[in-house]
Amino acid sequence: MFQKILIANRGEIALRIQRACREMGIPTVAVHSTADAEAMHVRLADESVCIGPPPARDSYLNIASILSAAAITGADAIHPGYGFLSENAEFADMVEAHGLTFIGPSADHIRMMGDKIAAKTAMASLGVPLVPGSDGELASLEEARRVAGRIGYPVLIKAAAGGGGRGMKVAKDADGLEDAWRLARTEAAAAFGNDAVYLEKYLDRPRHIELQILADGHGSVVHFGERDCSLQRRHQKLVEEAGSPALDAAARDALGATATAALRQLGYRNAGTLEFLWQDGQFAFIEMNTRLQVEHPVTEMVCGIDLVKEQIRVAAGAELGYGQDEVRFSGHAIECRVTAEDPETFAPSAGRVTAFHAPGGLGVRVDSALYAGASVPPWYDSMVAKLIVHAPTREEAIARLRRALAEFAVVGIKTTLPLHERIAAHPEFAAGDYTIHWLERLVTAG
Q: Which is nearer to ligand ADP, 164 or 317 (CB)?
A: 164
Q: How far apart are CA 440 and CA 78, in angstroms?
A: 37
The site map against ligand ADP for 144-163 (x = CB under 6 A) is ------------x-----xx
**Residue in 112, 157, 401, 436 binding ligand ADP, rule: CB under 6 A:** 436
Q: How far is the CB of 82 from ligand ADP (least distance, A)?
A: 12
Burial string for 306-331 (b: 16+ CB within 10 Å, else e) reads bbbbbbbbbbeeeebeeeeeebebeb
**Residue in 94, 95, 131, 424 binding ligand ADP, rule: CB under 6 A:** 131
Q: Which is nearer to ligand ADP, 6 or 155 (CB)?
A: 155
Catalytic residue check, 291: yes
Q: How far apart are CA 419 and CA 443, in angstroms?
A: 8
Q: How far is the CB of 104 from ligand ADP (least distance, A)?
A: 17
Beta strands in 132-235 (DSSP E): 155-163, 166-171, 197-201, 207-216, 221-233
C-alpha closest to that of 80 among 117, 108, 107: 107
**Residue in 216, 287, 310, 335 binding ligand ADP, rule: CB under 6 A:** 287
Q: How far apart are CA 240 and CA 337, in angstroms?
A: 9
Q: Is 202 in the site for ligand ADP (CB under 6 A)?
A: yes
**Residue in 83, 104, 206, 256 binding ligand ADP, rule: CB under 6 A:** 206
User: CB atoms < 10 A from the CB of 218, how many?
Assistant: 12
Q: Is 114 in the site for ligand ADP (CB under 6 A)?
A: no
The site map against ligand ADP for 311-350 (x = CB under 6 A) is ----------------------------------------
Q: Is 83 in the site for ligand ADP (CB under 6 A)?
A: no
Q: Is 235 in the site for ligand ADP (CB under 6 A)?
A: yes
Q: Please state whether 280 falls in left (phi above 0), alpha (psi between -120 and 50) or beta.
A: left
C-alpha closest to that of 233 among 208, 268, 203, 265: 208
Q: How far apart are CA 198 and CA 180, in angstroms?
A: 11
- Helix, strand, coil content of the chain in percent (nearest 5): 35, 30, 35
CB 171 within 8 A of CB 155: yes
Q: Is 164 in the site for ligand ADP (CB under 6 A)?
A: yes
C-alpha closest to that of 138 among 200, 198, 187: 198
Q: Which is nearer to ligand ADP, 210 or 310 (CB)?
A: 210
The site map against ligand ADP for 245-284 (x = CB under 6 A) is ------------------------------x-x-------
List 291, 313, 337, 400, catalytic entry: 291
Q: Is 165 in the site for ligand ADP (CB under 6 A)?
A: yes
Residues that bind ligand ADP (CB under 6 A): 131, 156, 162-165, 200-203, 206, 208, 232, 235, 275, 277, 286-287, 436
